């Protein structure tokens, strides 16, 4: 019989519990006390102190020798950013769960590989002929880190040589962020097709071969000067994507065809019975817009539900801005591909189904008060965005009207030839010999910064009006803007770190049923 995602998760936890690992709770997706990270991006984040040898030996953390958990991860910024892949492929999410087991100066390569293999092949019963493994092939710049032949040798006990492949820094040297713990790694990949010659897959660039599990041999710490120093003791850090392993064990074509996503698709369809059904094509060339929309929306609702649950509040700064953008993208995709009308508030209605799917594991999602809070925050954000869009469209039309003279649409010049000031012609006199049908990148950029008006909408609207958009100019401005906002990325607070007045304000706006007492507050049920 096929395992549910909950069973896949619990089997993992139980397996390692039986091997003397302590089951640890997932940390928040908002990193605690770590400004090298935008969001928690891997299971090891919460153990960073132990790797570095900085954990208090008498604390619970400091006493851990072996641990196992499922970690809520978000990869939508910083060193690991998969935001742009979502919906375009079927195995990168913004939010995903990373199953992991750790050894802190306890077991090392041999045991970690033996455990992983045993669990996959003997417990989950994956056909070993479908598995490939990779190891670190060395790097000239890292003098103390040569080809990892020790790992290759261990794998030879389980896998034939043609399925053990070396890769370089990018694939097989894992780093948490620009600084921090790192080390060579060994990955396990699964061939969804099977029965093929291993030599056809030596580059592992076939999308039907899926990376499922990464075993990192943590041995170094990278400092600000990019120097790599040895950790006090070698550690094991592993990570396996729950959505990916579940898709394999449920024998379906993609992560989106598992019980982690299908109920969300059903809910979308229930809200909008007229939209076409999900087709589920997985080849990147064949993915149609409807499938893309289902995927993006369901990915994004999981991500923002978890993020808000853990304390994010959509706003214009840092990680909260990322969350705002993710909400807006989902809403926009809904408008564009499902024709959802602007005055319909719908996205927040998907929070309940996320709570159904993940609530048994992440108990906060079952708390009625918190759930209502999350829905309320998203609903507010939807209303705000709709208003923003309305204003943006109005402004867009104003820019165009100002410049529309006769039948010729003359919208700025894009270049500095003096024909336009603020999108309108100087003196208001048409230079009819010189029809410049160009929407200025600067105007598009202003729409973006003042109204959050997305560039792809400007593109569509320009197209409709047969106007050319100076996208180059927009991109240049946007790049500069991003550089600036990146440096502000980390200034962010979470709800419970807010000043009391701000918390009170939010409490009123979002009708939060909580008691705020000095700097502490409690959710009431
Ligand atoms: P990929 O090469 O597919 O981007 P990765 O090498 O960046 O994955 P790791 O940092 O090694 O990923 O993370 C450990 C595991 O977490 C991966 O083997 C994969 O199963 C899972 N994983 C990583 N990123 C994602 C994601 N964006 N969505 C879903 N699962 C992911
Ligand atoms: Mg990646
Ligand atoms: Mg990889
Ligand atoms: Mg990897």
With beta carbons less than 8 A apart as the criterion, state whether 377 and 308 touch: yes
Q: Which residues contact 475 (CB under 8 A, 6 or more apart)?
A: 441
What is the DSSP code (8-state) at residue 29? S
Instruction: Judge whether 162 and 129 are in contact, CB under 8 Å.
Output: no
Provide the token pair at 310.
Answer: 């853990």
Q: Alpha-carbon distance 320 to 495, whole Å? A: 11
**C-alpha 252 – ligand 4 centre gap (Å):** 22
Atom of ligand 1 at shortest range from CA of 188: 18
Instruction: Tell me which of 195-199, 253-257, 292-296, 464-468 is least confident.
Output: 464-468
Residues of the chain with CATH 3.30.930.10: 5-249
**DSSP single-letter state for residue 258:** S
pLDDT of the residue at 521:
53
Where are the alpha helices (H) located in 19-71, listed in sequence order?
A: 48-52, 60-63
243 lines ligand 1 (CB under 6 A): yes
How far apart are the CA of 41 and the centre of ligand 1, in A?
Answer: 10
pLDDT digits (tens, 9 = 90+) for 6-19: 999 999 999 999 99
Q: Is 240 in the pocket of ligand 1 (CB under 6 A)?
A: yes
**Does 222 have pLDDT greater than 60?**
yes
The finding on whether 92 has its CB within 6 A of some atom of ligand 1 is yes
- 0.90 exceeded by pTM: no
Residue scoring higher pLDDT (422 or 285): 285
What is the phi-psi region of residue 468: left when phi exceeds 0, alpha when psi lies from -120 to 50, beta otherwise? beta
Picking from 123, 190, 186, the residue whose alpha carbon sits closest to that of residue 153 is 186
Ligand 1 lined by 261 (C-beta under 6 Å): no
Q: Model confidence over 154-178: pLDDT tens digits?
A: 999 999 999 999 999 999 999 988 8
Residue nearest to atom 26 of ligand 1 (CA): 92
- For residue 245, which atom of ligand 1 is closest to its CA? 20
Q: Is residue 523 pLDDT above 70, yes or no?
A: no
SS (H, E, C) 392-404: HHHHHHHHHHHHE
For residue 59, give every residue at least 6 positions away whose Cβ sits within 8 Å of its Cβ, in sequence order, or none.
none
Closest C-alpha among 191, 192, 135, 193 to residue 167: 135
Please state the rounded mean pLDDT for residues 113-137.
97
- CA of 469 relative to ligand 3 center, distance in Å: 37
How would you label 134-144 residue by residue, b for 16+ Cβ within 10 Å and e otherwise?
bbbbbbeeeee
Smallest CA separation from ligand 1 atom 27, residue:
92
pLDDT in tens, 435-489: 556 889 999 999 988 877 878 778 878 887 888 899 999 988 887 776 554 433 3
Which residue from 310, 238, 181, 183 is spatially nearest to 67, judged by alpha carbons? 238
| Cα→Cα distances 226→110, 175, 177, 312, Å | 29, 12, 11, 31
Q: Which ligand is nearest to the CA of 171?
A: 3
pLDDT band at 33 (very low <50, low <70, confident <90, very high): confident
- Of 443, 475, 457, 471, which is closest to residue 332 (Cα–Cα)? 457
Ligand 1 centroid from CA 375, angstroms = 29
pLDDT in tens, 46-75: 999 999 999 998 998 899 999 999 999 999
C-alpha pair distances (Å), 409 with each of 405, 420, 442, 458: 6, 13, 17, 16
Residue 162: Cβ within 10 Å count = 12
CA of 184 to the centre of ligand 4 (A): 11
Domain 5-249 class, CATH top level: alpha beta
Q: What pLDDT does residue 155 have?
A: 98
E strand spans, 55-151? 66-74, 95-104, 131-136
pLDDT surpasses 60 at 2: yes
What is the reported pLDDT for 436?
52
ipTM: 0.99
Cβ(186) to ligand 1 under 6 A?
Answer: no
């Amino acid at each position: 019989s096929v395992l549910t995602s909950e069973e896949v998760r619990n089997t993992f936890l139980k397996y390692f519990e039986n091997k003397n690992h302590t089951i640890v709770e997932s940390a928040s997706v908002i990193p605690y006390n770590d400004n090298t990270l935008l969001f928690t991006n891997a299971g090891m984040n919460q153990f960073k102190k132990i790797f570095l040898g900085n954990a208090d030996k008498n604390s619970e953390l400091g006493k851990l020798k072996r641990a196992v958990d499922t970690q809520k991860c978000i990869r939508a910024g910083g060193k690991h950013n998969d935001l742009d892949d979502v919906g375009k492929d079927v195995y990168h999410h913004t939010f995903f769960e990373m199953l992991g087991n750790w050894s802190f100066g306890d077991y090392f390569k041999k045991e970690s590989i033996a455990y992983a293999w045993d669990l996959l092949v003997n417990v989950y019963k994956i056909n070993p002929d479908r598995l490939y493994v990779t190891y670190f092939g060395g790097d000239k710049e890292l003098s103390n880190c040569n080809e990892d032949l020790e790992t290759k040798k261990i794998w030879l006990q389980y896998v034939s040589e043609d399925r053990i492949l070396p890769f370089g820094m990018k694939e097989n040297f894992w780093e948490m962020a620009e600084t921090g713990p790192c080390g060579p790694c060994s990955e396990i990949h699964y061939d969804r097709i099977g029965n093929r010659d291993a030599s056809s897959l030596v580059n592992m660039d076939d999308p039907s071969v899926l990376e499922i599990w990464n075993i990192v041999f943590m041995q170094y710490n990278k400092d600000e000067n990019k120097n790599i120093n040895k950790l006090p003791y070698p550690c094991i850090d592993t990570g396996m994507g729950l959505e990916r392993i579940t898709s394999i064990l449920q024998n379906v074509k993609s992560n989106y065809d598992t019980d982690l996503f299908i109920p969300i698709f059903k809910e979308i369809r229930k809200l909008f019975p007229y939209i076409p059904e999900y087709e589920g094509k997985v080849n990147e060339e064949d993915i149609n817009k409807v499938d893309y929309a289902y995927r993006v929306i369901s990915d994004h609702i999981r991500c923002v539900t978890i993020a808000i649950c853990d304390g994010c509040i959509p706003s214009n700064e840092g990680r909260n801005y990322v969350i705002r953008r993710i909400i807006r993208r989902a809403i926009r995709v809904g408008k564009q591909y499902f024709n959802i009308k602007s005055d319909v508030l719908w996205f927040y209605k998907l929070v309940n189904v996320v709570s159904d799917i993940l609530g048994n594991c992440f108990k906060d999602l079952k708390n009625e008060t918190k759930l209502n809070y999350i829905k309320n925050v998203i609903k507010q954000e939807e209303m705000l965005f709709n208003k923003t869009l309305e204003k943006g469209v109005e402004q867009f039309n104003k820019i165009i009207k100002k410049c529309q003279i006769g039948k010729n649409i003359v919208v700025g010049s894009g270049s500095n030839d003096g024909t336009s000031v603020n999108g309108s012609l100087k003196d208001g006199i048409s230079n009819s010999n010189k029809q410049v049908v160009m929407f200025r990148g600067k105007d598009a950029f202003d729409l973006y910064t003042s109204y959050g008006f997305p560039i792809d909408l400007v593109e569509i609207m320009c197209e409709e009006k047969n106007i050319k958009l100076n996208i180059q100019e927009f991109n240049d401005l946007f790049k500069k803007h991003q550089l600036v906002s990146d440096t502000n990325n980390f200034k962010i607070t979470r709800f419970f770190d807010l000043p009391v007045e701000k918390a009170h304000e939010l409490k009123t706006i979002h009708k939060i049923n909580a008691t705020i007492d000095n700097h502490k507050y409690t959710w009431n049920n």
